[in-house]
Amino acid sequence: MCRREPGNPDIRPRPGVNCPAAPAPAARPVGGCTRPDSAGPPPFTAAPPPPGPGRRRAPSADAVLIRRTLAEIAPVADDTTSHFYALLFLGNPELRQLFPAAMDTQRDRLFSALLGAAERLDDSTELSRYLSDLGRGHRKYGTRPEHYPAVGQSLLGALARYAARVWDPATRAAWIRAYTVISQTMIDAAAADEQRAPAWWEAEVVSHELRTSDVAVITVRPDQPYRFTAGQYAGVETPWWPRVWRTYSFAKAPDPDGLLTFHVKAVPAGWVSGALVRRATVGSVIRLGPPAGSMTVDHSSDTGLLCLAGSTGIAPIKALVEDVAEHGRGRPVELFFGARRETDLYELPALRELERRHRWLSVRTVVADGAERTLAGQLPDTVRRLGPWREYDGYLSGPAAMVRSGVSALTSAGIPAERIRHDFVDIRT
């Protein structure tokens, strides 16, 4: 475990059992929440963990201050992000090489991840999972422990400028404490992962099948064993756009051949998706980051699964169905596959075959244009009308707008929010 000395305001990790040693401090601090002003921040202390399941309490004082800051910067999020990167690169030009040449493709990803972590401050279980995934995933960018202080200093600087109306010593101290937890959890997760897995995998394309004019089903063979769970996703980098990563869900449950399959839809200005659909061929080599995501099945439960998949969001849903079949419990699965046009239901033959083989699986299609052989309308609204679904766990995958409306539809159809699972991944880019 990496440890910090009590009262030390630096975020530089202390060498420990699982952590690589950090470099010695430079004469001028390389950032972190380290003395943005002459007085320096107060000592770091993590907020106490939230109460156990079934107990509720008011948000912690730090969470209240952090959410107030997030609300303040929401109308100027683009400006805040730009200022964050300006501070980061001006003060630490050596870090620019870790980012893609064209920053507009993923400019806000790091900043959004930091804010996403801060929003989860009072949920220790979810925060730890989210940050551990981030820490492992950031290894593929070449992120090292010594980089975190610079990010912390830039984050404080951007927030101080664009949340000036609510920025005060108490708010700054809350962000310092939050960033300490964020950075140390990510550092620890990356250090542990370094002992058992590479930062990335090279994977050769062994099959490239164009299913529609803009959707390809791509199967790759990793150069080393790749362990994942059905419902998860991975970052993908192509040789045509170095350091530009996009996330895609696994479209098959793990099997002995070790092959991985992704469904990719090319979208306008989608650099990675366009390259994977239109430039990749059998023999092309891409890079994969570590698996991440929590949209997985609890096989100790017999509760039915209600699955909503929009467009290429069918990929992880199909993997979940295969996973349920592999475990042989026969729990009911209701699968709704939605698309704008009937011709976009590219995976329907494979789903019908699964339905034929497994009596517990029901597959229904929903098409926006009202095709005769399908349910007509928007996917979430259609599923809501066919409810209630109180006896099911909900799973959603697809475009972000569909997932958002789907969560609302499933809660109104009787599924508690804590039994609805989804992962916002960039399946459209």
**Full pLDDT tens readout for the chain, 429 residues:** 333 333 333 444 433 333 333 333 332 222 233 222 222 222 222 333 333 444 456 788 999 999 999 999 989 988 998 999 999 999 999 998 888 776 655 556 667 777 778 778 888 888 898 899 889 988 998 899 999 999 999 999 999 999 999 999 999 999 999 999 999 999 999 999 999 999 999 999 999 999 999 999 999 999 999 999 999 999 999 999 988 889 999 999 999 999 999 999 999 888 999 999 999 999 999 999 999 988 999 999 989 999 999 999 999 999 999 999 998 777 999 999 999 888 899 999 999 999 999 999 999 999 987 656 668 888 999 999 998 999 999 999 999 889 999 999 999 999 999 899 998 643 333
> How many angstroms separate the Cα of 75 from the Cα of each of 65, 71, 79?
17, 8, 9
> How many angstroms separate the Cα of 216 from the Cα of each of 202, 232, 264?
20, 19, 5
Instruction: Give the angle 139-140-145 at the CA atoms, nearest 5°.
Output: 25
Rounded to an integer, what distance in angstroms lies between the CA atom of residue 259 and that of residue 84?
A: 40
Bond before 388 cis per omega within 30 degrees: yes
Predicted model pTM: 0.74
Helices (H), 195-295: 271-278
Q: Provide the strand spans (E) within 74-214.
A: 201-210
DSSP states of 300-363: T---EEEEEEEGGGHHHHHHHHHHHHHHT----EEEEEEESSGGG-TTHHHHHHHHHH-TTEEE
Tokens 């830039």, located at residue: 154
Residue 340: alpha-carbon gap to chain centroid:
25
224 neighbors 198 (Cβ within 8 angstroms): yes
For residue 156, what are the contacts with CB-CB under 8 A and spacing of at least 6? 33, 36, 172, 175, 176, 179
Rounded to an integer, what distance in angstroms lies between the CA atom of residue 115 and that of residue 49?
A: 19
Rounded to an integer, what distance in angstroms lies between the CA atom of residue 142 and that of residue 406?
A: 36
